[in-house]
Amino acid sequence: MQTTSTGEPTGGEPEAQTHPDPSSQPLDLRLLPAALVAWVAALTAIYSAAEVSLRLGAVLGAVGVVSAAVLWLLPRASSAALWGTAVQSVLCLVIGACVMISAGMTQHRQESTGWAEAVESDIPVQLTLRVSTDPQPLVSPGPHGEESSGIRTQAVVTHARLGAEQQPQRIGSDVVLFDRGDEPAELVAGRRYRLTATLSPARSGDQAAALVTPFGDHEPQSLPEDSWTQVTSLFNSVRSATTQAAGVAAGDGSALLPGIVLGDRSQQGPELTESMRVAGLSHMTVVSGTHTSLVMGALLGLLRCSRAPRWMIPPVLIVGLVLYVLLVQPAPSVIRAAVMGSIGALAVFAGRGRASSALLCSCVIILLLYNPWYASNAAMQLSAAATAGIVAVGHRLKLIFDRWMPAVLAGPLALAVSAQLFVTPVLLPIAEGITLYSIPANILAGPLLPFAAVPGTLAAVLIGAMPWVSTGLLWVAGFPAAGIAAIGTWVSELPQALAPWPEGWQGWAMAGLYVAAALVLCWPIVQARRPRRGELSILGVAAGMLAGVILPAGTLFAAGPAEQWRFALCDVGQGDMLVVRTAERAGIVVDAGEDPQPAEQCLQRLGIDTVEVLMVTHEHHDHYGGAPGVAQAADIEQIIYSATAGWGPREVIAELDADFSEIPERRGQVGDRQVYGGPYPAAWSIWAAADYHPSANDNSLVTLFEIWDEKGPADAVGSANDPLRLLALGDLEEDAAQILLHAESLPKHVDVLKVAHHGAANGGTQILQDLQPPVALIGVGEDNSYGHPTPGIIDALGQWGSAVYRTDLHGTVVFSLSAEGRLEAETLN
């Protein structure tokens, strides 16, 4: 090539043009402050009254407008950075004002129409609503161990006839509809219904303004189809046909495919659902941003392979996104996931990280302007965090993975790792624990997801025109879906698969370590450069911190009860064991089951090393056989018992190779009482302790425990004025219980009842009817040969609305008194 004396090219071969790699450009974070302000403003508004939201919004708006006018009139500052900061501040003020005004106007509309007042009242109202999602089976929160015969679904109340108004008023409020009838109505997503219902308020800050329950025998009545119903009916038929055709898939693939492709979990059994949750893979069976990213990425790849003009790509992608949302049902969570997932697809598959970061901030602002209640929604928080991770490091991780594996694996793996890295600190405060193997599980299952989601979605598109092709595609997609199910089942069975996360300052400190280590690890990736030699040691320390936070958390903080627990029902198999706390590491134990090991383990998990009283209710082995385990775990100060005349526990326990000779014992007497002070105040009193009944069960020790919190609200159950009352019946049978009831020798009111004889039929239901306990405890072995508890006992408790906790279904259950005076339960599995 010829050159001039100055070195400029004069001819010959053209000089190669170099284009900067979009992924190497820094992220555009100019809208990040505005997005953060929008989020804070939304959270402030939704937890405030309408008047407060509107006034704050007006103040922020006025300040923003005045500031903008001043900037417009004044000459531009010489410093570009200073000018940019000023513009950012004005933008933040204006956006914050708009978000607060949006929330305030919604709240004001609900108040002005009378909707807010109707939600707070018990008066039935007539509603017109549109169902948003497929109904889901309703699981009763009280734990009878079975799903109740009801449904739950999301809906939008379009009109309501409130108060004395003759004409329905336009409402436009999100609600959750429950139908707990024996034969719940067959509701269809997209259809409109009219019903008379009672309303109750949802939790403060929830997107759903109310919980709706049909009043009496009033069932929802379907209304004539409108244009939107016709559109959704078309897509519902596609969903039904796809779900039915997915039955050809192998193994658990037939259960997972509808969830992966359509977000329909109705085919999944409870065991598979729980396995996926514990393994950290449940997000794969609902429509999330990841699914949208994969589908949009596949569509983008198809357009590129077909050499479609660049101007055609955006409108085709938008149309495809809209059709996909309609297919998986346009609930608010789906719309949100679709928006976030599209941004993720743009970042990973198109390498537009800089544009994607600006789009992410813009979408957050738009979504919060549209619905400020998204800010408190955990799904929104997770979507934003996952998308932020994909935008920040997803494409660069893909480039790194491309060096070691095929591109078809690198992309999904980059999606899984980058998303999981950012969602973990968001999950920690809201999850029951940390899914210890979620990252390895997602790394294993992530590459399988596109081979299930993309062919499955294509099958749904073709199900009407070419059903035989769709069936073949679903059969193929079933193998990776079955693989995902197998990974979820295997991972969920690993030790500490769902590890507890420490509460209090320890939890926050470890979360801080996680964030710091993740930032250090991600920084070189974001900068798109190799770490310098000096930084390698820092990265090594960060990686160690990250592993140290995630992996040992479950072993350092073994699953234990809440710090302020007050009593516990121990899982000791087919037997009874109840622990009432009296001090930091001390308590009273009522019975000990039949096996020493479970009794010992329960006390160890509860942190009890002193048993002030071991109460043995009667002489059956399933109540005292575990006593050696109690002695192994703690020091026993005394034994109080009841039994048939001539029987004493100390000699019998000695036959179990346990030396109880130094432990004082005495027979309990009616009227015996003991009070314990300190931070865990409690008292016990004996109400029955016979020795003359022919049946040993009827000689059971019957003890009433009173438990209170000096700091609790004065008018709440569990306060010093109104202690929580727990009655332990031993194995008392029906005839003896009747005698005590007629003699008024039992308390007239209790808050918690330890049901007699493991829920056996001979315990009778009269005592349940007389006491009507809000909470019932049953110590019973899983799949026991006695048929305990019997359906009659469970039905009777259900009739009185008792929340039933059973050790065969829930394991060990601990109970605590909240600061508001509520009784809270926690299972230790």
Q: Higher-confidence residue: 290 or 725?
A: 725
Q: How is domain 115-224 classified at the architecture level of CATH?
A: Beta Barrel (2.40)
Calpha distance 244→465 (Å, rounded) = 16
State residue 121's pLDDT score: 78
The answer to whether 573 touches 593, Cβ cutoff 8 Å, is yes
Q: Higher-confidence residue: 279 or 732?
A: 732
DSSP label at residue 252: T
User: Of 87, 456, 532, 407, which is closest to residue 254 (Cα–Cα)?
Assistant: 456
User: Would you say residue 10 has pLDDT above 50?
Assistant: no
Over residues 6-26, mean pLDDT = 46
Q: Give the confidence band of 325 by pLDDT, cuts at 50, 70, 90.
A: confident
The answer to whether 235 touches 326, Cβ cutoff 8 Å, is yes
Q: One-letter amino acid identity for 608? A: I
Using CA atoms, how far residue 573 sits from 271, 494, 592, 809, in Å, is 21, 23, 10, 11
Q: Higher-confidence residue: 352 or 676?
A: 676
Using CA atoms, how far residue 66 sits from 69, 73, 96, 100, in Å, is 5, 11, 15, 18
State residue 707's pLDDT score: 93
Output phi, psi for 422, to 5 deg: -90, -25
Q: Give the confidence band of 5 by pLDDT, cuts at 50, 70, 90.
A: very low
The token duo for 609 is 């090393």
User: Would you say residue 16 has pLDDT above 50?
Assistant: no
User: Of 730, 731, 706, 702, which is closest to residue 720 (Cα–Cα)?
Assistant: 706
User: Would you say residue 587 has pLDDT above 50?
Assistant: yes
State residue 299's pLDDT score: 84
Which residues does residue 211 pair with via DSSP β-bridges, in sequence order? 176, 200
State residue 533's pLDDT score: 58
In tens, the pLDDT along 398-437 reads: 777 777 777 666 776 677 677 777 777 776 665 555 666 7
User: Would you say residue 498 has pLDDT above 70?
Assistant: no
DSSP label at residue 448: G
Over residues 659-680, mean pLDDT = 87
Alpha carbon of residue 510 to chain centroid = 21
User: Would you say residue 378 has pLDDT above 50?
Assistant: yes
Residues 6+ away with beta carbon under 8 Å from 755: 729, 763, 768, 776, 777, 778, 789, 793, 797
User: Would you say residue 483 has pLDDT above 90?
Assistant: yes
On average, the pLDDT of the chain sits at 79
State residue 590's pLDDT score: 96
Calpha distance 22→353 (Å, rounded) = 7
State residue 75's pLDDT score: 67
State residue 139's pLDDT score: 47
Using CA atoms, how far residue 309 sits from 300, 303, 312, in Å, is 12, 9, 5
State residue 522's pLDDT score: 61
Q: Higher-confidence residue: 9 or 161?
A: 161
User: Would you say residue 101 has pLDDT above 90?
Assistant: yes
Cα torsion for 144, 493, 433, 525, to the nearest 10°? -150
Burial 668-687 (b: 16+ CB within 10 A, else e): beeebeeebeeebbbbbbbb
User: Of 329, 260, 332, which is closest to residue 291 (Cα–Cα)?
Assistant: 260
Q: What is the CATH number of domain 565-818?
A: 3.60.15.10
The answer to whether 293 touches 415, Cβ cutoff 8 Å, is yes
* Domain spans, the chain: 32-112, 115-224, 247-280+436-490, 291-434, 504-556, 565-818
Over residues 432-458, mean pLDDT = 79
User: Would you say residue 479 has pLDDT above 90?
Assistant: yes
User: Would you say residue 544 has pLDDT above 90?
Assistant: no
User: Would you say residue 216 has pLDDT above 90?
Assistant: no
Using CA atoms, how far residue 184 sits from 140, 269, 387, 411, 420, in Å, is 14, 20, 38, 44, 38
Pick from 40-54, 213-227, 228-242, 412-426: least confident = 412-426
* Coil, strand or helix at 681: coil
User: Would you say residue 680 has pLDDT above 80?
Assistant: yes
Over residues 527-531, mean pLDDT = 56
The token duo for 697 is 């069960």
The token duo for 690 is 């016979």
The answer to whether 441 touches 279, Cβ cutoff 8 Å, is yes
The token duo for 70 is 């001043």
* Coil, strand or helix at 314: helix
State residue 476's pLDDT score: 93
The token duo for 62 is 């006025």
Over residues 595-609, mean pLDDT = 89
Output phi, psi for 197, to 5 deg: -145, 160
State residue 367's pLDDT score: 87
Over residues 181-202, mean pLDDT = 79
Q: Give the confidence band of 746 by pLDDT, cuts at 50, 70, 90.
A: confident
State residue 526's pLDDT score: 55
Radius of gyration of the chain (CA): 32
Whether the model clears a pTM of 0.85, i.e. scores above it, the answer is no
* Coil, strand or helix at 785: coil
The token duo for 156 is 């939008």
Percent of the chain with pLDDT over 90: 19
